Amino acid sequence: MLHPSYTDLMKVVNSEVEPGEQPVVNSRYSIVIATARRARQLINGATPLVDVTYPKPLSIAVEELNQSRVKIVGDDEMSEDDKYNV
């Protein structure tokens, strides 16, 4: 089993949502896409936002998400430049 699990990550990401608002993440797919995009940024030279104890960029991206160091935003909240600079 993965640690943290998809369910755990979804809880972390949605923890800042006010009652009555739409959750940021509704599916595992959103978690996968977000971590893959962040891993790509790390591969391209972005600085990790957590202490690097993992050798793989995807593991670092998952840990950053788990520690709330990165924020998932919807496509409607991204600028056109951000969409292509992943």
Structure tokens at 23: 């959750």
Looking at every residue in the chain, the average pLDDT score rounds to 83
Write down the pTM of the prediction: 0.77
pLDDT digits (tens, 9 = 90+) for 69-78: 998 886 666 5
pLDDT, average across residues 28-46: 94
- CA distance readout (Å), 63 to 21, 22, 59: 26, 24, 6
Calpha distance 48→41 (Å, rounded): 9
Phi and psi, residue 72, nearest 5°: -90, 125
pLDDT category at 47 given cuts 50, 70, 90 is very high
**CATH code for the structural domain at 6-84:** 3.90.940
> In angstroms, how far apart are the furthest CA atoms of the chain?
39
What is residue 38's predicted lDDT score, i.e. its pLDDT? 96
Calpha distance 65→17 (Å, rounded): 15
